[in-house]
A and B are shown apart, each in its own frame.
Chain A
Amino acid sequence: MSGTASFEPFPPEFVDLLHAVLARAPRLRDVVVEMRRSRRKIMTPGGTFAGHRAYAPGEDLRFLDWNAYARSGALVLKVLEEDQHRALSLLVDRSRSMATGTPERRVAALRLAALLGGLGLVQLDAVHVADPAGRTHTIQGARSLPRLLDLLRDAEFDDRPPDVAWRKVLQRGLPGRVHWISDFADPEAAVPLLVHARRSGRALSGWLPVLPEDHQPVLDGWLVLVDPETSAELRIQVDASLRAAMAEEVRALARHQDAVFGAAGYVLHRYPVPSPGDYRLASWWGSVWNSRS
């Protein structure tokens, strides 16, 4: 099922905003640590050999270990220690539950991914965009920003659980910090992946685009609630007392999400989604920066 038909998460206003953010934004924390190295434009791979990881179509052929290919016949990439610090990886939740909310949560997720990926392209050596199918796309250089946007825009829905969707990618090895953008509607579903990332020593950050209705439900009246992933329906009459009870449940969910990430030693960043039509720099970048700090 394609989720891209007549779907444009990156209107020109946002692209302009994105360029403004990339021009003005402060450096990412990893960039500050490796500031001196990142200023140098390396033309060839360099750094301490840290190991191999499987090749995925689209990755830079310069990192292919041809000797290993000659020995084993398998295409693997050399992982250098410096790569871990000069790249970032994006895991964007493609489930249908992201296509809910007003505005849609996936729009905010993709724009957030564009912001993070754009910063990575500008300030780091590479950005890796993984999809639930196990493919990893490596993008380098600020001029690859359109390709990044295309990769994000063309994403299709995939309702596989996180552990199933991303474990293969993590096992193959993703360089740099992993930024996992999702609604984490089922926190328990994220636990296996977080445990795996922790055990494999991955640096990981969770990003949750927060909609206004996540704090205070706005539904009212006689309606049918539908789970977009399971198509389960619930006919309810929403009134003030039920909204209050739901707000309490949402808060409990938030506490649960935080607890899950905290138990794995990671941090879940809550990214307040700006209002539709709000393309102010402060609204977008300020949210990223504030949520990260």
Chain B
Amino acid sequence: MGERVELPLLNHPERLLWLLVLPLLWLLARPLRPRQRVATPHLVQWQRALARLKRRPQRFPWLRFLALALAFACGALALADATLGARPGPRQLAVVVDASASLAATSRRAPRGAMAAAVAALAQRLAELPRGVDVRVLLAGTAPQVLAGNPDTLVARLSAQAPAGRGLDLAALAASLARPQVAVWTVTDGLGPSAAPEHGALTLVGEPADNLAITACAVEDAWPLPEIHVRLTLRSFAGRALPWRLAITGGVAEAEPHSGTLAAGAVEEVEVPLRRAGGGGVRIALDGASDALALDDGVRITVAPPPSPKIAVLAEGTDRRWIDLAARVLAEELGGSVMPAADASAADFLLAEGGVLGAPPAGLRAITFGTRVGAGELAADDLEVQPLVADWDRDDPITKDLDLSDLRVRLALRSGFGAEGKTLVAGESRPLVVLSGSGDRTCVHAAFRLADTNFPLLAAFPSFLRRAYARSHGAAPEPVVESPLLDPLESDLRAKAARPEDRPLPAFGDPGKALAVPLLLAALAFLALRIYL
């Protein structure tokens, strides 16, 4: 039995319509038809006369036309992209790789992560693909990417990709990519919000696992003060209680350990008070040995560095204990230093008590107590004896929630103790404490010296100092939560339904051996032969 003869396939059979030009060529190749027809009994003699002159009668050049027609047919077949040994089937492979954050989960089946297992599966299958299959990889992550190239390049580029964010709807994506000539292969873990596609080839990597996640993070920064208050929301995506412990690193002081146990499916808010150290990046992460997904275990925030002020103290008189104490405490808390009075012009912050302060430099941040600012010599009627505290601003951040009802003042300046400003503490007839300046350049001026009051003895005094200092720097910069928190659906690694079985790739088509070059050579050969016919 003979082997079956394999006929060439045409990828563009519509281009064979060019063969319709052949009748036109036939018409053009025909010799002109003589207008005159003459009947003669001597046809044989005419033929002999032609032979005598070694001429040939005019006939249709069949051989030349045949050569031309064959050359044209070869050209048309080449144009129609004739191939030999082609096999029908898809010739393109669209690989949808789930690049959602859940692919970063580790498991017993994928100890280096589901994404690494996906890349390994991809490398193995791509190496087994028939020649000529065009492979495109769609990385279905937060920012979808289309990767193309040879298998080695694709594997290298995929290896460099880190899963992140919430994935796309893989089922819809696979359905939209499906074409008769395109095979769709989805590589996913089958977890997370998107279900595994029902059509096309499918490879599942990874496996369901228990997971703890930080699902929310709120930060309150008291800058320039050192307090930073972090509120974390922990959520359990596990079927059992899991212990947790927070690890805090970065530009904050060592904090108290935070740990606990989260019940199955529970949500817990954890308050984490921190103190600023050097500022900058701060990472707060869950440290749990049984956790499968690390991407949702930590949060990184950036806080402003402490101002580290240089505090200068100007005091008149012998009783300067309170103002010195205030400067020292403030410097220690803020990480700054107390400067000598002689270097006050280089200071960042000024604490003054009594005396006269000439023209204050522009942008000065200061707290003055009984200091005449920009005023002349003290006169007798400039002082007020035992003024009473009538009220204080209960809405201003400096005096809010402070109890100043026990403040007693023996002697106070009637005026000239500071620029006109907002009254923070009011006496019966005139303000006792005012706020001047605006933005991040403000000063607080008190009409009394510390030594003439019981203010340092009040519980509100430290808060007043800190708040006045903070107010002098204006609004605090917003802390930045750098690590985007995952969608809780991505953190949920529990299988929501029975995972489907893997589905193999279909049989790919073979483009076969292209006959364009041999056909074109044959066409040229026929044209060359036609010259000699």
Give chain A's interface residues, CB within 8 Å of chain B: 96-100, 105, 183, 185-186, 219, 221-230, 232, 234-237, 241-242, 245-246, 248-250, 252-253
- Inter-chain CA distance A237–B32, complex, in Å, is 11
Asked whether B50 is an interface residue with its Cβ less than 8 Å from the other chain, the reply is yes
Q: Which of B42, B45, B57 neighbours the largest number of chain A CB atoms within 10 Å of its CB?
A: B42
Establish whether residues B52 and A249, one from each chain, have CB atoms under 8 Å apart when the complex forms: yes
Establish whether residues B42 and A234, one from each chain, have CB atoms under 8 Å apart when the complex forms: no
Establish whether residues B43 and A236, one from each chain, have CB atoms under 8 Å apart when the complex forms: no
Among B17-25, B33-41, B232-240, the stretch in contact with A: B33-41
- Inter-chain CA distance A204–B209, complex, in Å, is 127
Asked whether B58 is an interface residue with its Cβ less than 8 Å from the other chain, the reply is yes
In chain B, residues 34-67, which have Cβ atoms closer than 8 Å to a Cβ of chain A? 34-50, 52-53, 55, 57-59
Q: Which residues of A contact B36 (CB under 8 A)?
A: 221-224
Q: Which residue of B lies closest to A182 (CB)?
A: B41
Interface CB pairs A-B, < 8 A, 8: A229-B41, A234-B43, A234-B46, A235-B34, A235-B59, A236-B46, A236-B55, A246-B42
Establish whether residues A224 and B41, one from each chain, have CB atoms under 8 Å apart when the complex forms: no
Establish whether residues B31 and A226, one from each chain, have CB atoms under 8 Å apart when the complex forms: no
Which among B34, B42, B50 is the interface contact of A223 at CB below 8 angstroms? B34
- Inter-chain CA distance A236–B49, complex, in Å, is 11
Establish whether residues B57 and A236, one from each chain, have CB atoms under 8 Å apart when the complex forms: yes
Q: Which residues of A contact B37 (CB under 8 A)?
A: 223-224, 226
Q: Which residues of B contact A185 (CB under 8 A)?
A: 41-42
Distance of B44 from chain A, by nearest CB (Å): 8
Q: Which of A185, A223, A236 neighbours the largest number of chain B CB atoms within 10 Å of its CB?
A: A236
Q: A222-B34, A235-B31, A235-B58 are in contact. Are A227 and B49 (CB under 8 A)?
A: no
Chain B interface residue count, Cβ-Cβ cutoff 8 angstroms: 26
Q: Which residues of A contact B58 (CB under 8 A)?
A: 235-237
Which among A105, A226, A245 is the interface contact of B49 at CB below 8 angstroms? A245
- Inter-chain CA distance A100–B40, complex, in Å, is 6
Q: Which residues of A contact B40 (CB under 8 A)?
A: 100, 225-227
- Inter-chain CA distance A98–B58, complex, in Å, is 26
Establish whether residues A245 and B52, one from each chain, have CB atoms under 8 Å apart when the complex forms: yes
Distance of B413 from chain A, by nearest CB (Å): 134
- Inter-chain CA distance A286–B172, complex, in Å, is 111
Q: A224-B34, A226-B38 are in contact. Are A246 and B45 (CB under 8 A)?
A: yes
Q: A235-B31, A237-B58 are in contact. Are A223 and B49 (CB under 8 A)?
A: no
Digit string of B236-268 for contact with A (CB within 8 Å is 1, else 0)?
000000000000000000000000000000000
Distance of B83 from chain A, by nearest CB (Å): 44
Establish whether residues B32 and A222, one from each chain, have CB atoms under 8 Å apart when the complex forms: yes
- Inter-chain CA distance A221–B46, complex, in Å, is 14
Establish whether residues B49 and A249, one from each chain, have CB atoms under 8 Å apart when the complex forms: yes
- Inter-chain CA distance A135–B37, complex, in Å, is 35
Q: Which residues of A contact B44 (CB under 8 A)?
A: 186
Q: Which residues of B contact A100 (CB under 8 A)?
A: 39-41
Which among B32, B34, B49 is the interface contact of A248 at CB below 8 angstroms? B49
Starting from the known contacts A228-B41, A235-B59, A242-B49, 10 additional A-B residue pairs (CB-CB under 8 Å) come to A225-B40, A226-B43, A234-B43, A234-B46, A236-B58, A245-B52, A245-B53, A248-B52, A249-B46, A249-B52
Q: Which residues of A contact B55 (CB under 8 A)?
A: 236, 242
Q: Which residue of A lies closest to B50 (CB)?
A: A236
Which among B32, B41, B45, B59 is the interface contact of A249 at CB below 8 angstroms? B45
- Inter-chain CA distance A241–B50, complex, in Å, is 10
Q: Which residue of B lies closest to A219 (CB)?
A: B38
Distance of A50 from chain B, by nearest CB (Å): 38
- Inter-chain CA distance A183–B44, complex, in Å, is 14
Establish whether residues A232 and B34, one from each chain, have CB atoms under 8 Å apart when the complex forms: no
**4 interchain residue pairs of minimum CB distance:** A97-B41, A185-B41, A245-B49, A249-B45
- Inter-chain CA distance A252–B52, complex, in Å, is 13
Q: Which residue of B lies closest to A241 (CB)?
A: B53
Q: Which residues of A contact B57 (CB under 8 A)?
A: 234-236
Q: Which of A105, A223, A252 neighbours the largest number of chain B CB atoms within 10 Å of its CB?
A: A223
Distance of B37 from chain A, by nearest CB (Å): 5
Establish whether residues A223 and B59, one from each chain, have CB atoms under 8 Å apart when the complex forms: no
Q: Which of B33, B49, B50, B53 neighbours the largest number of chain A CB atoms within 10 Å of its CB?
A: B49
Q: A245-B49, A246-B49, A248-B49 are in contact. Are A227 and B32 (CB under 8 A)?
A: no
Establish whether residues B46 and A228, one from each chain, have CB atoms under 8 Å apart when the complex forms: no
- Inter-chain CA distance A289–B376, complex, in Å, is 173
- Inter-chain CA distance A262–B25, complex, in Å, is 55
- Inter-chain CA distance A226–B31, complex, in Å, is 17
Q: Which residues of A contact B43 (CB under 8 A)?
A: 225-227, 230, 232, 234
Digit string of B163-194 for contact with A (CB within 8 Å is 1, else 0)?
00000000000000000000000000000000
Q: Which residues of B contact A223 (CB under 8 A)?
A: 34-38
Distance of A181 from chain B, by nearest CB (Å): 14
- Inter-chain CA distance A246–B51, complex, in Å, is 10
- Inter-chain CA distance A248–B49, complex, in Å, is 8
Q: Which residues of B contact A248 (CB under 8 A)?
A: 49, 52
Q: Which residue of B lies closest to A99 (CB)?
A: B39
Establish whether residues B50 and A242, one from each chain, have CB atoms under 8 Å apart when the complex forms: yes
Distance of B9 from chain A, by nearest CB (Å): 44
Distance of A190 from chain B, by nearest CB (Å): 13
Digit string of B109-138 for contact with A (CB within 8 Å is 1, else 0)?
000000000000000000000000000000
